[in-house]
């Protein structure tokens, strides 16, 4: 058994390292784009087959998100980003349940690695949402209000609290990205260890549990992003 936190590098394209999880992410993205684009080209009023599944996912996740948030406007605006992230993470998690994927290898390095066990992907997407969170504060509260939030000279206590807010913003990034990465990576490691101890039978109940967590964690990621964006909106009555 050998695990590494960093994904294995397959080959280089002009000095750009192409890793196995990067290839998996690209493949999942391509499949999602092509499948949804082909479905979108021939949409029917009465859905059937694939379209009804996609509609159930879209409508279900919208209802789920709008249930937890108070503001309809923010949910509607953020929903395209959240659904894209949700689909990528969900499919990326669930693809690992297809049997026989890790048997395919190139130069003795497995060609498949679960997309979400690569911290780079999750960090980039979390950074993207962190930028959205910060820009929401700037747009709703003004640039001056944004700076005032962090550099507050009203008193010594306010000054320290303002500095703590900077740490708080970074902690948001660390907490949402680590939570998701930890779950995905630990799932893969756990299954591999259990297969080593008692093959075929012992991993089965754990795989069922991990199936739940691999569906719940992307949803929780999206909900937390939505809640953070909602918290970052500066109310007009507060600033005036």
Partner 1 sequence: MDAEAAKYIAAGIAMGLGAIGPGVGEGFIGAKAMEAMGRNPEAGNTIFTRMFVAMAVTESTGIYSLVIALLVLFS
Binding-site ranges for partner 1 (CB under 8 A): 3-5, 64, 67-68, 175, 178-179, 181-183, 185-186, 189, 216-217, 219-220, 223-224, 227
**By C-beta, is 1 or 13 nearer to partner 1?**
1
Give the whole-angstrom CA distance, residue 24 versus residue 115. 6
- Smallest gap, in angstroms, from Cβ of residue 75 to partner 1? 14
- Smallest gap, in angstroms, from Cβ of residue 205 to partner 1? 19
**By C-beta, is 5 or 157 nearer to partner 1?**
5
**Can you name the residues that pair with 19 across neighbouring β-strands?**
9
- Smallest gap, in angstroms, from Cβ of residue 29 to partner 1? 25
The widest CA-to-CA distance across the chain, in whole angstroms, is: 65
**105 by DSSP, 3-state: which?**
strand
- Smallest gap, in angstroms, from Cβ of residue 117 to partner 1? 11
Give the whole-angstrom CA distance, residue 181 versus residue 218. 11
- Smallest gap, in angstroms, from Cβ of residue 105 to partner 1? 20
**Can you name the residues that pair with 110 across neighbouring β-strands?**
105
Give the whole-angstrom CA distance, residue 161 versus residue 184. 34
**By C-beta, is 17 or 40 nearer to partner 1?**
17
- Smallest gap, in angstroms, from Cβ of residue 147 to partner 1? 29
> Quick one: which H or E segment has residue 140?
helix 119-150
CB-count exposure of residue 120 (10 Å: 0-12, 13-18, 19+): middle
- CB atoms < 10 A from the CB of 201, how many? 8
**By C-beta, is 17 or 142 nearer to partner 1?**
17
**By C-beta, is 204 or 212 nearer to partner 1?**
212
- Smallest gap, in angstroms, from Cβ of residue 183 to partner 1? 7
Going by C-alpha positions, the residue among 220, 222, 240, 238 that lies closest to residue 74 is: 222
H helices of 1-102, in order, are 20-41, 50-68, 72-94
**By C-beta, is 50 or 196 nearer to partner 1?**
196
**By C-beta, is 68 or 102 nearer to partner 1?**
68
């Amino acid at each position: 058994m050998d695990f590494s936190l960093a994904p294995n590098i397959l080959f280089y394209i002009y000095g750009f390292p192409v890793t196995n999880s990067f290839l998996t992410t690209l493949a999942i993205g391509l499949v999602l784009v092509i499948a949804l684009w082909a479905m979108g080209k021939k949409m029917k009023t009465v859905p059937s087959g694939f379209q009804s599944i996609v509609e159930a996912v879209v409508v279900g996740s919208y209802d789920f998100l709008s249930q937890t948030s108070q503001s309809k406007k923010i949910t509607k605006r953020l929903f395209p980003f959240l659904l894209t992230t949700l689909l990528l993470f969900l499919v990326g998690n669930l693809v690992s349940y297809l049997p026989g994927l890790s048997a395919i290898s190139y130069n003795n390095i497995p060609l498949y690695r679960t997309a979400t066990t690569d911290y780079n992907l999750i960090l980039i997407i979390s950074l993207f949402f962190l930028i959205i969170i910060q820009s929401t504060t700037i747009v709703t509260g003004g640039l001056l209000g944004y700076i005032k939030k962090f550099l507050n000279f009203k008193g010594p206590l306010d000054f320290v609290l303002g500095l703590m807010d900077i740490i708080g913003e970074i902690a948001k990034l660390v907490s949402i990205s680590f939570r998701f990465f930890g779950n995905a990576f630990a799932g893969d490691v756990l299954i591999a260890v259990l297969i080593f101890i008692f093959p075929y039978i012992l991993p089965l109940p754990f795989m069922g549990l991990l199936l739940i967590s691999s569906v719940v964690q992307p949803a929780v990621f999206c909900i937390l992003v939505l809640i953070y964006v909602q918290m970052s909106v500066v109310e007009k009555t507060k600033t005036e």
